[in-house]
Amino acid sequence: MDPLRTQILAAFTLDFRIELEYHLSRAFENCCDSQFDRPGCDGIDIPDMSQQRSDRPNWVFTMAWFGPSGQDRYKMNIRLGKWALENCRKGLSLSECLPGDDRLDWVILDVENKEIILRLK
């Protein structure tokens, strides 16, 4: 595995994945109309680095427990922005790279195909 992939995998600690899970759930809670079932996240798997493509080094592919019950399996694709990539290279936490949980402009949710795309700073 190349050094960047190793650094990215190291950044996706259990603590960060739990923080991302709660952060994503809060963002949907804060931004969704209360008359609809709000999706929530109930877990994010360790990224599968064998799925990483060399032509897209800033993307991380994993699976998440997501949906109104938090129990549906969704493909989760995470685009690491410049700040997140730099933190990975330096061995720093990705927590500060999470966009605000008061908006959803960093999330694309495709319920039909059970896929969620996230964009970190």
pTM for the full predicted model: 0.89
The pLDDT, as a whole number, for residue 111 is 87
The shares of helix, strand and coil residues in the chain, as percent rounded to the nearest 5, are: 35, 25, 40
Q: Classify 96 as helix, strand or coil.
A: helix
Give the pLDDT confidence score for residue 52 in this predicted structure.
Answer: 77
Distance CA 121, CA 84 (A): 6
Q: Where are the domains of the chain?
A: 3-119
**8-57 tens-digit pLDDT:** 999 999 999 999 999 999 998 887 655 446 778 899 999 988 777 777 88
pLDDT at 30: 83
pLDDT at 89 over 80: yes
Residue 36's pLDDT is 46
Give the pLDDT mean for 64-88.
92
Q: What is the mean pLDDT of residues 93-112?
A: 93
Question: In whole angstroms, how large is the CA radius of gyration of the chain?
Answer: 14
How are beta strands 72-79 and 59-67 bridged, if at all?
A: antiparallel
Opening angle at CA 99, ends 37 and 105, nearest 5: 55
Cβ neighbours of 105 (radius 10 Å): 10
Token match 């995470």: residue?
78
Continuous H helices in the chain: 3-11, 14-31, 82-90
Query: Does the structure show a pLDDT above 80 at 113?
Result: yes
